[in-house]
Amino acid sequence: MVGIKEIDITCLGEVLVDMFPAEIGRRLTEVSSFRPVPGGAPANVA
């Protein structure tokens, strides 16, 4: 078709961030920091 421009589209699903303790083997009340990791329903891409 004349005059129609092609474009790329990326569709992302819901992206959540899981917060994991930075220190393994400790209770949550004893942990001093957490590290964010993409998770939950990690970016479903179509």
Provide the whole-model pTM.
Answer: 0.49
- Is residue 4 in a domain? no
| pLDDT at residue 22, rounded to an integer | 93
CA angle 9, 5, 43 (to 5 degrees): 5
- Is residue 32 in a domain? yes
- Is residue 27 in a domain? yes
Report in angstroms the alpha-carbon separations of 7 from 4, 26, 43, 46.
10, 49, 21, 15
Total domains present in the chain: 1
- Is residue 3 in a domain? no
pLDDT per residue as tens digits for the range 12-34 = 777 788 899 999 999 999 999 99
- Is residue 21 in a domain? yes
Sequence length of the chain is 46
- Is residue 43 in a domain? yes
Task: Identify the domain containing residue 23 by its residue range.
Answer: 9-46
